[in-house]
């Protein structure tokens, strides 16, 4: 099966093989770097996520939808923001809306969370399709803190922009 390729490689030499493998590896490397770069720019470890769960199904999002996340460090989260959060101990991140925010006024230690200082935020979320808030999902915690949040979905229009660009590329490229 590989005799054709092996013959060609022996004829063209070692450097040629290295070049070919490099072409392939560079594509992967550039993809990785773009992903990491995007993560640094948006300050979130997962700048693009796919909706897996059923919770938001039937509202604004459907399973398989793309979400573009940002997580600006200095901005406060507001009630109504759509956030993606991850509870340590749970495998999958959850896409829900912020129901309540609580601003800490004095230094306090809440069980399960990092010590809170004035200005820190605590969040409570709820899925649009659910009747109750997410307390049961928090695995014992009463609130979410900022470090649980992966990001918020502030730019739902980006999803359409990306699809538009991909469609345009598919049309423009020959063959």
Partner 1 sequence: MARTKKPENGTSTARSPSPSRASSASPSSPSGEDKPTGPLSIIISPEDREAIKVNNANATELKNACDDAMKRYLSRPELFKQIYLHTDVRLGLGWLSVFVAAGTAFYGYKVEFEKSKPVVWAGLILYILLTTLQTLYAYFIEGDVVYVGKRKTFSRRIVSERITLSSRTVPVERSKPPAYEVSITYVRSTSGGKSLLAKGKTHGVREYNSFFDEEGTMDQERFERWVGELVEQAMEGKSS
Which position among 5, 30, 54, 62 is part of the footprint of partner 1 (CB under 8 A)?
A: 30
Q: Which of residues 116-175 bind partner 1 (CB under 8 A)?
A: 147
Does 105 contact partner 1 by CB under 8 A? Answer: no
Which position among 37, 72, 164, 167 is part of the footprint of partner 1 (CB under 8 A)?
A: 37
- DSSP strand E in the chain: where? 48-50, 66-68, 82-85, 94-103, 121-126, 144-145, 149-152
Q: Which two tokens stand for residue 1?
A: 């099966």
Q: How many residues bind partner 1 (CB under 8 A)?
A: 21
Does 11 contact partner 1 by CB under 8 A? Answer: yes
HSE toward the beta carbon, residue 83, CA cutoff 13 A: 30
Q: Which two tokens stand for residue 53?
A: 């769960």
Which position among 9, 20, 45, 65 is part of the footprint of partner 1 (CB under 8 A)?
A: 45
Residue 166 to residues 6, 163, 173, Cα–Cα distance (Å):
37, 5, 11
Q: Is 106 helix (H, G, I), strand (E, B) or coil?
A: coil
CB 147, min distance to partner 1, A: 8
Q: Give residues in contact with partner 1 (CB under 8 A).
A: 11-12, 15, 18-19, 22, 25-26, 28-30, 32-33, 35-37, 39-40, 44-45, 147
């Amino acid at each position: 099966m590989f005799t054709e390729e092996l013959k060609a490689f022996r004829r063209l030499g070692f450097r040629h093989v290295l070049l070919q493998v490099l072409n392939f590896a560079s594509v992967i490397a550039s993809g990785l770097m773009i992903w990491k770069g995007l993560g640094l720019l948006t300050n979130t470890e997962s700048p693009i996520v796919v909706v897996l769960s059923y919770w938001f199904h039937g509202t604004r999002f459907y399973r398989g939808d793309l979400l573009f996340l940002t997580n600006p460090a200095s901005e406060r989260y507001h009630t109504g923001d759509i956030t993606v959060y991850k509870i340590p101990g749970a495998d999958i991140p959850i896409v829900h809306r912020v129901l309540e925010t609580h601003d800490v006024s004095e230094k306090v230690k809440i069980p399960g969370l990092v010590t809170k200082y004035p200005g820190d935020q605590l969040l409570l979320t709820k899925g649009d399709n659910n009747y109750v808030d997410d307390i049961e999902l928090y695995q014992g915690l009463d609130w979410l803190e900022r470090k649980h949040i992966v990001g918020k979905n502030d730019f739902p229009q980006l999803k359409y922009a990306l699809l538009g660009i991909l469609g345009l590329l598919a049309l423009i490229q020959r063959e």
